[in-house]
């Protein structure tokens, strides 16, 4: 592998990792702080991708589609938390798995009814539809750079939200003692509803952002869900910082695994997970 | 008759099948100090938790500032100006001392902001040295100071202290009692649950003794101290 191919793979790995982070950060918050195993989290990614397809076909602009899609996914998140997830906090993991697995089936069926089972492509927006030339034969698509930049900005904002704001303090405090937060006169239920909606919106946004490069297909949420659980477990459940580091590790391991040892491409990330868990059973980072 | 701050009327609370409170009446008025006593497992914490909305009583009524708030969300009850220092302290170990304090900051029910972080730190100089430390790094006494300081950040009219001196070295416990006296002198009503009956009766206007979920004594300190057999029988002293 020459230096340029290495560089391209490095960018691909980072970009994939950053995209995973958007989905995994919501998953780790919902799992680590609210205590809910949400198997339907990958569905939000799928819903986002399909929204990008339907809404951009409808409006003619991916950006408009993304803005409308974010609003819709926040509404979906608030509604789901209110109607279903808020009843799960005090229940055990089996019941959570049953409900959220059921939701996967419901979402897939609804998707099939509304947009059908075809695979779709979403066009890269015109202003990003060019490449940065690296050598005479190699170049790197600008849209992927744009995706990575957006993800980095969101990661920084998420970090600031959790570390520096009062809402972030409430979220973290709630993960250690929910009752005490309430006794201080703070409406933790509302905070959790917003956290859930934020997680849904991040996953859907990741799906929308990825639609032009990954295409849009039935069941696309499942693969993302599994890999994101790997990220959450490696990073340490509930740790945003851990999710970021683990996402990047997984992104790089997966990308370079496919290039360097293509025969074993399917297992590289799982071998990495096993190795990390042998070394640190609680994941790389403890809870926030 | 002075204004009632927090009141329980004929409260019956259950934990699953076990009947913990059997028709408890309790009342604290604005500016008062009430000692709540009784041996372990007699229902003191359950009474407090029922009044704060953390446990839903099966029968009876909870009135906060004269309004019926039975079964209300705990945060709504707290916003009426009630701060809680729970048994076992309940600091947030994953937040720094500074974060523990600022996350709780709130104007009192009447909009007053007497207790700021500066004032809390002036009251608890030990915390000022520990601002950047994680809650999990504090000693027991420091944790207790942080819990009380955090409660004061909400500018309460009533402070409920459940076993605030439990497990603390005598010197630290003494410091806590001094601060409780100071808080009381500011006109904040206090409910004090503590094993040290002498310290409680010394500052309480009224004392309530619970035995097996029933009130067996409700009166001022002088009349309680005049009945040593009551203290002996119900508190084992």
Q: Is residue A263 part of a domain?
A: no
Residue A47 forms part of a structural domain = yes
Contact B74 A183 (CB under 8 A): yes
CA distance B58 to B64: 18
Q: Do B86 and A170 touch (CB under 8 A)?
A: no
B90 touches chain A (CB under 8 A): yes
Q: What per-residue confidence (pLDDT) applies to A287?
A: 58
| C-beta atoms of B78 and A189 within 8 A | no
Per-residue confidence (pLDDT) for residue B10, from 0 to 100: 96
d(CA B204, CA B212): 22
Low-confidence ranges of chain A (pLDDT < 70): 287-288
| pLDDT digit string, tens, across residues A49-63 | 999 999 999 999 999
Q: What is the pLDDT of residues B18-48, one digit of tens each?
A: 999 999 999 999 999 999 999 998 999 999 9
B6 touches chain A (CB under 8 A): no
Q: How far from the centroid of its chain's Cα atoms is residue A235's Cα?
A: 14
Domain, as residue range, for A166:
19-219
CA-to-CA dists, residue A14 to B67, B174, B176, angstroms: 58, 57, 53
C-alpha atoms less than 13 angstroms from C-alpha of A120 in its C-beta half-sphere: 24
Q: How many domains does chain A have?
A: 1
Q: What ipTM was estimated for this complex?
A: 0.92
* Residue A182 is assigned to a structural domain of this protein: yes
| Selected residue of A170, A185, A192, A236 to mutate for chain B interface (largest B Cβ count, 10 A) | A185
Q: Is residue B145 very low, low, confident or very high in pLDDT (cuts 50, 70, 90)?
A: very high
Per-residue burial over B189-202, b = 16 or more CB atoms within 10 Å of its CB, e = otherwise: bbbbbbebbebbbe
Q: Is A175 on the interface with B (CB under 8 A)?
A: yes
Question: Which of A180, A183, A241 is the mutation pick for testing B, counting most B CBs within 10 A?
Answer: A183
Q: Judge whether residue B162 has pLDDT over 70.
A: yes
Is the CB of B90 less than 8 angstroms away from the CB of A177? yes
Q: Are the beta carbons of A183 and B99 separated by less than 8 Å?
A: no
Q: Of the candidates A169, A182, A185, which has its C-beta nearest B99's C-beta?
A: A169
Smallest CA–CA distance from B153 into chain A, residue: A184
Whether residue B86 lies within 8 A of chain A, CB to CB, comes out as: yes
Q: How far apart are CA B216 and CA B37, in angstroms?
A: 10
Statement: residue B1 has pLDDT above 60: no
- Helix (H) or strand (E) run with residue A50 in it: helix A41-59
Q: Indicate whether A284 belongs to any domain.
A: no
Mean pLDDT over each residue of chain B, to the nearest integer = 93
The minimal CB distance from B78 to the residues A170, A183, A287 is found for A183
**What's the pLDDT band for B167 if we cut at 50, 70, 90?**
confident
* CA of A157 vs chain B CAs: smallest distance (Å): 19
Neighbouring residues of B91: CB distance < 8 A, sequence distance ≥ 6: B100, B135, B138, B143, B146, B147, B150
Residue of B104, B105, B107 best to disrupt the A interface, most CBs of A under 10 A = B104
pLDDT at residue number A239: 87
Q: What is the mean pLDDT of residues B116-137?
A: 94
Write the residue in A169, A179, A183 that is nearest to B103 by C-beta.
A169
B26: left (phi over 0), alpha (psi -120 to 50) or beta: beta
Q: Is residue A166 part of a domain?
A: yes
Beta-carbon separation of A288 and B104 below 8 A:
no
pTM (predicted TM-score): 0.89
Q: Is there a contact between B85 and B125 (Cβ–Cβ < 8 Å)?
A: no
Residue A160 located in a structural domain: yes
Q: Tell me whether A167 touches chain B (CB under 8 Å).
A: no
Cβ separation of A166 and B102 shorter than 8 Å? yes
- Flag whether residue A129 sits within 8 Å of chain B, measured between CB atoms: no
- Residue A79 covered by a domain: yes
The pLDDT score that the predictor gives to residue B236 is 80
Tokens coding B169: 């070295």
Pick the more confident residue, B80 or A287. B80
**What mean pLDDT is predicted for residues B201-213?**
94
Residue A177 lies in a domain: yes
* Cβ separation B94–A185 shorter than 8 A: no
Question: A189 — contact with chain B (CB < 8 Å)?
Answer: yes
Residue A18: closest CA among A254, A268, A272, A222: A254
Distance CA A122, CA A215 (A): 7
Per the DSSP assignment, residues forming a β-bridge with A155 are none
Residues of B in contact with A166 (CB under 8 A): 102-103
Q: What distance lies between CA A52 and its chain's CA centroid? A: 16
Q: Which of B75, B86, B102 lies at the smallest CB-CB distance from A186?
A: B75
Helix%, strand%, coil% for chain A, nearest 5: 75, 5, 20
Question: Domains of chain B, with CATH numbers?
Answer: 1-81+198-237 (3.40.50.300)
């Amino acid at each position: 592998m020459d230096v340029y191919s290495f560089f391209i793979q490095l960018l691909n790995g980072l970009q994939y990792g950053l995209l995973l982070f958007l989905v995994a950060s919501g998953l780790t918050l919902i799992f680590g702080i609210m205590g809910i195993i949400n198997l339907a989290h990958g569905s939000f990614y799928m819903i986002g991708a399909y929204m990008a397809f339907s809404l951009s076909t409808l409006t003619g602009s991916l950006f408009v589609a993304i803005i409308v899609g974010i609003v819709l996914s926040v509404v979906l998140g608030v509604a789901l938390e209110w109607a279903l997830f808020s009843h799960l906090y005090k229940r055990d993991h089996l019941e959570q798995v049953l409900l959220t697995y059921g939701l996967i089936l419901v979402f897939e069926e609804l998707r099939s009814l509304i947009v059908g089972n075809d695979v779709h492509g979403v066009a890269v927006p015109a202003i990003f539809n060019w490449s940065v030339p690296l050598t005479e034969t190699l170049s790197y698509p600008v849209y992927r750079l744009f995706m990575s930049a957006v993800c980095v900005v969101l990661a920084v904002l998420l970090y600031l939200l959790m570390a520096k704001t009062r809402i972030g303090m409430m979220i973290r405090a709630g993960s250690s003692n929910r009752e005490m937060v309430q006794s201080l006169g703070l409406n933790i239920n509302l905070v959790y509803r917003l956290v859930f909606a934020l997680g849904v919106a991040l996953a859907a946004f990741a799906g929308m952002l990825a639609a032009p490069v990954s295409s849009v297909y039935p069941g696309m949420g499942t693969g993302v869900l599994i890999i994101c659980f790997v990220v959450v477990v490696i990073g340490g459940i509930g740790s945003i910082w851990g999710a970021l580091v683990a996402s990047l590790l997984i992104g790089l391991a997966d990308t370079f695994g496919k290039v360097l040892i293509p025969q074993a491409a399917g297992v590289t990330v799982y071998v990495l997970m096993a190795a990390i868990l042998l070394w640190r059973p609680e994941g790389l980072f403890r809870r926030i | 008759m002075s204004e009632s701050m927090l009141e329980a009327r004929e409260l019956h609370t259950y934990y699953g099948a076990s009947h913990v409170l059997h028709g408890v009446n309790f009342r604290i008025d604005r500016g008062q100090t009430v000692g709540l006593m009784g041996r372990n497992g007699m229902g003191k914490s359950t009474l407090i938790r029922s009044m704060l909305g953390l446990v839903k009583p099966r029968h009876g009524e909870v009135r906060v500032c004269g309004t019926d708030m039975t079964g209300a969300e705990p945060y709504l009850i707290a916003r009426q100006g009630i701060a809680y220092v729970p048994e076992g302290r309940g600091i947030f170990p994953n937040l720094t001392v500074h974060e523990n304090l600022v996350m709780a900051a709130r104007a009192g029910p009447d909009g007053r902001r007497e207790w700021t972080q500066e004032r809390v730190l002036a009251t608890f100089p030990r915390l000022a040295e520990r601002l950047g430390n994680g809650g999990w790094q504090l000693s027991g006494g420091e944790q207790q100071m942080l819990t009380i300081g955090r409660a004061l950040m909400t500018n309460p009219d009533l402070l409920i202290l459940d076993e605030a001196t439990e497990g603390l070295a005598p010197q630290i416990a003494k410091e806590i009692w001094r601060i409780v006296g100071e808080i009381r002198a500011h006109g904040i009503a206090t409910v004090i649950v503590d094993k040290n009956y002498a310290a409680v009766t010394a500052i309480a206007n009224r004392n309530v003794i619970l035995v097996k979920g029933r009130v067996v004594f409700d009166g001022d300190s002088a009349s309680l101290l005049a009945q040593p057999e009551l203290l002996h029988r119900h508190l084992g002293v």
